Amino acid sequence: MSIRLLRSIVRTVIAAAAIVLLCLAPRYPHAVRTLVGFSPFVAAAGVLAAGFAGAVVWWAVFPTAAAAIRKRFFCRWLCPTGRCLDLLGAAGTRCGLRAPRFPNVGWGIALATLGGACFGYPLLLWLDPLALLTAPLTAPRSAGLAAGNAALWYFLLPAAVALIALTAPGLWCARLCPLGGFQEFLYWAVRPWRWSPARLFRRRLAAAEPATAQGEASENRGDDEGPGRAVGRRVVLAGAAGAVCGWAMVRGGDLGGARPLRPPGAADERQFTGLCLRCGNCISACPEKILVAGGASDGWAGLLTPQVRFDAGYCREDCVRCTQACPSGAIRPVQKRDKVRALIGFPRVDMNVCILGEDGECTACARACPFEAIRYEFCETDYTTVPRIDPDRCPGCGACQVACPTEPKSIVIVADHPRRSTGAAATNSHPRR
């Protein structure tokens, strides 16, 4: 059996197994986390940006080490997305289509992303091919989206990549894919004897050769000149540009506007939108269906990132499924016993709407709170009973908001939490007298 045939069989089996895992994602969220966690690109960016070195990183050790020894090892042997694109490329090749001459920008995308990750914001991490394969097969069928029929967004980018593979066979894998580019750079970077002033400062990129193999674009994948033969200054510029953009995103001014509620264990909002792969795994993992994907109204940075909406239920005190489903470190794993410290938001009470503010009787929010964080006090100033929330007990699970009988709700979870600030006390708005 030839190496090419063996490689084709191995990649086909892996691609089929990956698709089966993705179909089981709502029931087994660890499946998607494991699949995407094999990406060396995601692992490296997650470690740099979030300092997160959990089990996902260990899964990527073997592919990373193999890619450092054998050029584009993951592409040649393991990538399920690459195998699917090869089949599309084979159809395009039979129709007489060929890839145009195009510079190798995959390593530039990878370096820009890693440069931003050094400052906490990996810019284009969501272009990882495993995340692109995962997204359309998981989240859209699991939960609604925040902005109308935004489910189409989950298919837009994967469809664009598929179209490139069909009309320009081999172009995405050989020249555009950031995972492939990262492997090229890794292969080049661990071999100092390959460095030379001529390679580091050569001004011209080698022209890309179109893939010629029928459905096996990966045969030529990575045999082209990598960063070591490209312009060294462009290597530096790509990383520097990503670092500057990442620094600007994380160190920028006030975020402004109402921030969306994020899942428990989520990174800081300034980092979260960069770390999130838009894979939808956390959305499919949520049994209460309170996680939805941000739509176009949330801006480019927030598009398809998970948000908490308490329309269908609340974040149960005994559930940590979404925190165990994230492969990139955007959501850290949380143990059930630590759920009270995994902050989502904090309740704000509008006493102008609350039944107690109208001298009525209601204890719905306190009875519904699973953390016993709500008590009632008599306010002598307004001569009425008001609910008081203990910020040390409240993670913002939304049980009080769901239980509130008023319409609109008199108690609503907002993104800010006193424990995130410097000891600020919990405040409630009081009725106008």
- At residue 397, what are phi and psi to the nearest 5 degrees? -75, -20
Comparing 306 with 296, the larger pLDDT belongs to 306
Q: Collapse the DSSP code of 292 into the 3-class scheme (helix H, G, I; strand E, B; otherwise coil) and give the result.
A: strand
Alpha-carbon span 334 to 18, nearest angstrom:
26
Alpha-carbon span 111 to 89, nearest angstrom:
27
Mean pLDDT, residues 218-231 taken together: 46
pLDDT > 60? residue 305: yes
Predicted confidence (pLDDT) per residue in 169-189, tens digit? 999 999 999 999 999 888 888
Do the Cβ atoms of 281 and 154 come closer than 8 Å? Answer: no
Q: Read off the pLDDT band of 354 (50, 70, 90).
A: very high
Record the tokens describing residue 204, joined without a space: 């011209």
- Three-state SS annotation for 353-412: CCHHHHCCCCCHHHHHCCCCCEEEEEECCCCEEEEEECCCCCCCCCHHHHHCCCCCCCEE
- In the chain, the N- to C-terminal Cα span, in Å, equals 86
Mean pLDDT, residues 18-26 taken together: 80
Domains located in the chain, CATH noted: 3-251 (no CATH), 344-433 (3.30.70.3270)
Do the Cβ atoms of 202 and 231 come closer than 8 Å? Answer: yes
Nearest to 32 by CA among 169, 135, 173: 135
Alpha-carbon span 45 to 55, nearest angstrom:
15
Q: How many residues does the chain have?
A: 433
Predicted confidence (pLDDT) per residue in 108-151, tens digit? 999 999 999 999 899 899 999 999 998 887 765 554 554 445 56
Mean pLDDT, residues 80-103 taken together: 92
